[in-house]
Amino acid sequence: MINRFLLLFAAVLSAIVIVQIGCSTSSIKSQELLNTLNESKLDEIDLAVNECIHDGNTPGGIFFLHIEKPNNEAQLEWVQVYGNKSLSPNIETNSVDTIYDLASLTKVVATAPSIMMLWERGLLDIDAPAFTYLPAFTNDLQKSITIRHLLTHTSGLRPGYSTKGWKGYDEGIATACKELPKQEPGSKFVYSDINFILLGEIVRTVSGEKIDKFAKENIYLPLGMIDTGYNPSSDKLSRIAPTQKVNNKILCGVVHDPTARNMDGIAGHAGVFSTVSDLSIYCNMLLHQGRYGKKLKKQLLKPETVHLMATIQSPKALKDKRSLGWDVATGYSSPRGNIFPAGESFGHTGFTGTSMWILPNEGIFYIFLSNRVHPDGKGNVLGLQRILGTKVAEMKGIELEQQN
168-191 pLDDT tens trace: 999 999 999 999 999 999 999 999
Coil, strand, or helix at residue 67?
strand
pLDDT of residue 396: 81
Q: What pLDDT score does 310 carry?
A: 97
Identify the CATH number of the domain in which residue 262 sits.
Answer: 3.40.710.10
pLDDT over 70, % of the chain: 88
Q: What is the mean pLDDT of residues 111-132?
A: 98
User: Is the pLDDT reported for residue 255 higher than 50?
Assistant: yes
Q: Which of 210-219, 241-250, 260-269, 389-398 is predicted with the least confidence, judged by mean pLDDT?
A: 389-398
What single string gives the DSSP state of each residue in 254-322? S-S-HHHHHTTT--SSS-EEE-HHHHHHHHHHHHTTTEESGGG-EESS-HHHHHHHHS--S-TT-SSEE
Higher pLDDT, 161 or 73: 161
Asked whether residue 41 is assigned to any structural domain, the reply reads no
pLDDT value, residue 24: 30
Q: Which class for 208: exposed (0-12), middle (13-18), buried (19 or more C-beta within 10 A)?
A: exposed
For residues 49-68, average pLDDT: 97
Q: Is there a domain that residue 73 lies in?
A: no
Domain extent for 250: 90-333+365-379
Q: Work out how many domains the chain is built from and give that number.
A: 1
Does residue 261 contact residue 255 with C-beta atoms inside 8 Å? yes
Taking residues 85-110, what's their average pLDDT? 98
pLDDT at site 111: 98
Within-domain flag for 61: no
Query: What percentage of the chain's residues is helix, strand, coil (to nearest 5)?
Result: 40, 15, 45
Is residue 341 in a domain?
A: no
Inside any domain, residue 15: no
- The mean pLDDT of 1-12, rounded to a whole number, is 36
Query: CA 37 to CA 362: how far, in whole Å?
Result: 12
pLDDT-based confidence at residue 103 (cuts at 50, 70, 90): very high
Q: Which of 375, 186, 358, 371 is nearest to 288 (CA)?
A: 358
- pTM score, whole prediction: 0.91
Residue 36 confidence class, pLDDT cut points 50, 70, 90? low
> What letter would DSSP give residue 160?
-
Q: Is the pLDDT of residue 126 over 90?
A: yes
Q: How confident is the model at residue 49 (pLDDT cuts 50, 70, 90)?
A: very high
Domain contains 309: yes
Is residue 40 one of the residues assigned to a domain?
no
Mean pLDDT, the chain, whole residue set: 90
- Phi, then psi, of 236 in degrees rounded to 5: -100, 0
**Which helix (H) or strand (E) covers residue 229, if one does?**
strand 229-230
Q: Which of 140, 199, 155 is nearest to 173 (CA)?
A: 199
Work out the pLDDT band at 71, boundaries 50, 70, 90. low
| Residue 241 in domain | yes
In DSSP notation, 174-185 reads HHHTT---SS-T
